[in-house]
Structure 1
Amino acid sequence: MDAADLDYRARTLSGCIPSSVVSRLVELGHTDEVEFQAGRGEWFCAREQARLLAERGRRAAALEVLAPYVATGWWTAVEAAAGMLEEWGRSDEAIALARPHAEAGKRSALRFFALLLARHGKGDEAFDLLRPHVGDGWLAAALVDIAGGAGRDDDAAALLTARIEEPRTCDDPTYRRRVIEPSNAVDLLAAIRERQGRVDEAIDLLRTRETTSVNDRDQLADLLARQDRIEELRAYAAVESLGTAAQCLAEVLEERGDVEGAIAVYRQPGGSLFRRNHGAVRLAELLVRHGRGDEATDVLRSLADASGGAEDWIVDMLCTHYADQGRPEDGLAYLDTLKERDGEEGWEFFRIRLPLLVACGRRDEAIDLAMAHPEHDTWAIAELLADAGRTEEAIALLEPDEDVVGPVLAWHLIDLGRVRDAVALLQRPKPTPSTLPQDDLTARGTSP
């Protein structure tokens, strides 16, 4: 085995058996094939085989499966083995296994190793390991997590404060603002201040951010909710343009039993188009949770009927809701209205029609219509065929595009018991680039 080849195949899912197919093999009882392929360089098979052995209490055998992969120096395998060792209470062995990779400067190994140290009473060592990399937002977040348990909050705060007070000039001459690195320095410092009980300082810091929403959460809104500062949260939600603060407020009110108050938050006028659209969807979800499906239908229908509202994702949401409410025929009627208005039905809207037809007991009609559509998606049609028990037809449809839909085709081959054909298809060699990206600090760039 070769670490670079293992890494390439695992990242690109090229020339290997992906985890989704491995799960299907196990689900259908083909564990002998998984075990066999685990010994032939198939990483996802090896990982699953090790997991299965560990579940049966065969820990030594599990490590033996991973050993050839670990021996290549490939970090992903080392991380998996170290994780098992830690889970079994063998933290010293896990630390010894991971240490050389962290010391080599591998970014993901640094984070894993530092958190591992911190979990096992070595917080100061973990903190000092990450300290030079505070300019890396991902590693800085780990450093802040570690600082709390290690009693190093003041040290972490000092590092971040220095970064905030001394931003660097962006290399792009057209960008005139000063750049703070890491970009999440303010957020991390605010987290420390809240942890220290200095809540007002945390709030003041968060009010200086340029980016307020990360992964659909707003740290300031969440902080105000945790601190039970509801009136401040309400005021913030009224002016925050993306609606994430309003979502936080509505969640708090719903948790406290004030459903009408939560509904009122989402019904407030104003804000960006993004806020209005996503707020309407969240309102519909809230109404459904409380058995008010008809009201949710009205909300989503109004959203779809609004000027510019008939986007495919909104129409999909409305039609899925119709189906969930046992009214798929109403979803089809709505799509018919759009088709009549536009004079045609592109695939982005036609695909929404297919599950509605199936829900109405018209699967064969759905298949025939999909096959006749000029933009038909063979993948979607194959799924319809397979769900109808016509797996051979699904395979025949997919085979001309096997280089693109290999895992899907393999899944159906396995369903018919053609395991070897599926494996051969997935393991077909594909060209690899002459150089592979390295997951180390040099390749990603160190902090200034």
Structure 2
Amino acid sequence: MDVDDLAWQAGNYRGISPRRVGLLLEHGHLDLAAQVAVERGEWFCAEGAVETLCRAGEFGRALAVMEPFAATGWRTALRAKARILLRSGRTEDALDLVRPDEAGPASEAEAEAECRDFAEMLAEAGRVDEAIDLLIPYLDGTSCPSVLPVLSVLVEITAGYDRDQRVLELIAPHDARESQAQVLERAGRADDAIRVLGQDITGRRSLTQNTLTAYAELLARHGRLEELRDLATGQDAHAVLDIYADALRRHGRAEEAEAVMRDAITSDDWVGYRAWLSATLLADGRLDDAIAVAEPGFGWYDCSNLLAPLVALLDRPEELLHLVEHPSVVPHHGHEEFQHGWRAWALAGLGRVDEAIAVAEADPRPWTDPRIVKADLLTRAGRLDAAADELRAVGTIRAREHLYEVLVRQGRAAEAIAVHPTVAEQRAAEPKPAPLGENGYSLEPPF
């Protein structure tokens, strides 16, 4: 195994991807996933197999799967092995595996990362005071450029350990009000948490959307709806009105939430308001009402187009077809091909596969190989043999990845593994980056 290949898989979701590993495991092929992980260096097969084995208490087998990956020295694999050891009760072995090297890493950033990893492992082992002590030197700002990542770890690992007062004392010297509020809230001091974040809101001090959102969600969790309404109907409405509307719904005031959002659309026709209301109406089973709200945004460009979000929420083909054939639906700006794909997908889901294929083949600008699109439509319609034949005829890296899924569904998992491209094949097929000129821009089109 090669660390670079492993990092490439993890960073790009390649090799046999997590979703495809999940498909393999769902069909009962745990042994095959474990075998392939070791024999082919498939990282996501290893992760999936290890998690399944650990849940079953088969820690020895889980270690056998992870050992070749950990032997490369790749820190992600070392952490994974350590967690197996920890779950099996071998605490000291787990800690020794991720303990920072006394010689120290090459950089301060690496030292901080190793420290955070080790602190997390100590906390998982129940040794939270040791974890806190380990992090303290990194909170003075001299060992790392920013203390915020360390504070975040400190807050996370101490949850549920009755160390909130100590954590608050460590946070106090730093401008980290969101972390402070988080600890206060979990310590049962919600009023103090609201006061701390409310000071930033009132004073508008270095105010970010994250702070606004955190404050609004804090108010919502504790039923402070009047204060939340004042915040949501003021100058920060774009950031938090949806949180107020959601809170109203949770308190059984759905009609009021809808009215609030419709009033906002009337006074300020912002796309975010339409997006929230259309999605909410759809969740309530009111598809035509959702379409009416979202329709003005169907023809807008990517960042504001409201057609795609509705499509993503529809899992019933008859409703998807109703949407894409609605008279108000217009081509998706810059991505008109998706309208062909959506309609074809809906038709295939209804079993009208010949119509679906005809729609897809009429696409003037296909966004992917039309032959793969045809095979996917056949698969959706349940015609797995025909889909497999199509994909075998194509034979590309992408086609073989799709063929893997068809074969797993057919109960031919070993054949699926054999046909799936290796990591080396996938990497070799990746487009090479274009050369850059002295100005840093590409020398080849598109410039």
User: CA separation of 1:192/1:26 partners in 2, compared to 1, >3 Å: closer, same or farther?
Assistant: closer
Deviation at 1:220, TM superposition (A): 1.0
User: CA separation of 1:406/1:125 partners in 2, compared to 1, >3 Å: closer, same or farther?
Assistant: farther
Equivalence for 2:115: 110
Equivalence for 2:207: 210
Q: Mean Cα displacement is larger for which, 320-329 or 67-76? A: 320-329
Where 1:100 maps in the other structure, the secondary structure is coil
Equivalence for 2:434: none
Where 1:39 maps in the other structure, the secondary structure is helix
Equivalence for 1:24: 23
Residue by residue, what CA displacement relative to the aligned partner does 1:82-113 show, whole Å, maximum 9, x if unpaired? 22233334434322322236974455543332
Aligned residues: 399
User: CA separation of 1:249/1:7 partners in 2, compared to 1, >3 Å: closer, same or farther?
Assistant: same
Equivalence for 2:220: 225
Does residue 300 (structure 1) correspond to residue 291 (structure 2)? The answer is: yes
* Aligned 1:100-139 pairs, distance under 5 A: 100=100, 104=105, 105=110, 108-134=113-139, 135-139=146-150
Q: Mean Cα displacement is larger for which, 318-327 or 197-206? A: 318-327
Where 2:207 maps in the other structure, the secondary structure is coil
Does residue 381 (structure 1) correspond to residue 374 (structure 2)? The answer is: yes
Distance 1:307 1:373 in 2: 19
1:329–1:360 CA contact under 8 A, matched in 2: no
Deviation at 1:235, TM superposition (A): 0.5
Deviation at 1:142, TM superposition (A): 1.2
Does residue 357 (structure 1) correspond to residue 351 (structure 2)? The answer is: no
Equivalence for 2:330: 338
Equivalence for 2:274: 280
1:53–1:61 CA contact under 8 A, matched in 2: yes
Q: Mean Cα displacement is larger for which, 110-119 or 77-86? A: 110-119
TM-score (norm 2): 0.74
Equivalence for 1:178: none
Distance 1:318 1:60 in 2: 46
Equivalence for 1:264: 259
TM-score (norm 1): 0.74
Equivalence for 2:47: 47
Deviation at 1:423, TM superposition (A): 3.9
Equivalence for 2:395: 399
Q: Which runs of 5+ in 1 are unaligned?
A: 162-184, 434-448
RMSD, aligned CA: 3.9
Residue by residue, what CA displacement relative to the aligned partner does 1:304-338 show, whole Å, maximum 9, x if unpaired? 13696586842244567788595555434426863
Distance 2:401 2:246 in 1: 39
Residue by residue, what CA displacement relative to the aligned partner does 1:285-317 show, whole Å, maximum 9, x if unpaired? 4344445x1xx5234324313696586842244
1:18–1:44 CA contact under 8 A, matched in 2: yes
Where 2:215 maps in the other structure, the secondary structure is helix
* Aligned 1:21-170 pairs, distance under 5 A: 21-40=20-39, 41-100=41-100, 104=105, 105=110, 108-134=113-139, 135-146=146-157, 149-150=162-163, 151-161=165-175
Distance 2:59 2:319 in 1: 52
User: CA separation of 1:87/1:410 partners in 2, compared to 1, >3 Å: closer, same or farther?
Assistant: same
Residue by residue, what CA displacement relative to the aligned partner does 1:376-404 show, whole Å, maximum 9, x if unpaired? 2334433112223121344046534x2x5
User: CA separation of 1:106/1:384 partners in 2, compared to 1, >3 Å: closer, same or farther?
Assistant: farther
Deviation at 1:233, TM superposition (A): 0.6
Q: Work out the percentage of aligned pairs sharing the same amino acid.
A: 27
Distance 1:412 1:319 in 2: 24
Distance 2:320 2:281 in 1: 19
Distance 1:71 1:264 in 2: 60
Q: 2:178 aligns with which of 180, 187, 191?
A: 187
1:322–1:331 CA contact under 8 A, matched in 2: no
Deviation at 1:114, TM superposition (A): 1.4
The structure with higher relative contact order (CA 8 Å, sep 6+) is: 1
Distance 2:320 2:43 in 1: 43
Residue by residue, what CA displacement relative to the aligned partner does 1:249-289 show, whole Å, maximum 9, x if unpaired? 2222222212222222222326997x832323322343444
Distance 2:329 2:182 in 1: 51
User: CA separation of 1:399/1:301 partners in 2, compared to 1, >3 Å: closer, same or farther?
Assistant: farther
1:19–1:44 CA contact under 8 A, matched in 2: yes
Distance 1:337 1:290 in 2: 21
Q: Mean Cα displacement is larger for which, 83-92 or 381-390? A: 83-92
User: CA separation of 1:38/1:425 partners in 2, compared to 1, >3 Å: closer, same or farther?
Assistant: closer
Residue by residue, what CA displacement relative to the aligned partner does 1:190-210 show, whole Å, maximum 9, x if unpaired? 434555552323311354343
2:36–2:45 CA contact under 8 A, matched in 1: yes
1:322–1:330 CA contact under 8 A, matched in 2: no
Residue by residue, what CA displacement relative to the aligned partner does 1:172-191 show, whole Å, maximum 9, x if unpaired? xxxxxxxxxxxxx3422443
Distance 2:125 2:313 in 1: 48
Does residue 251 (structure 1) correspond to residue 246 (structure 2)? The answer is: yes
2:400–2:421 CA contact under 8 A, matched in 1: no
Q: Which runs of 5+ in 2 are unaligned?
A: 140-145, 431-447
Equivalence for 1:412: 406
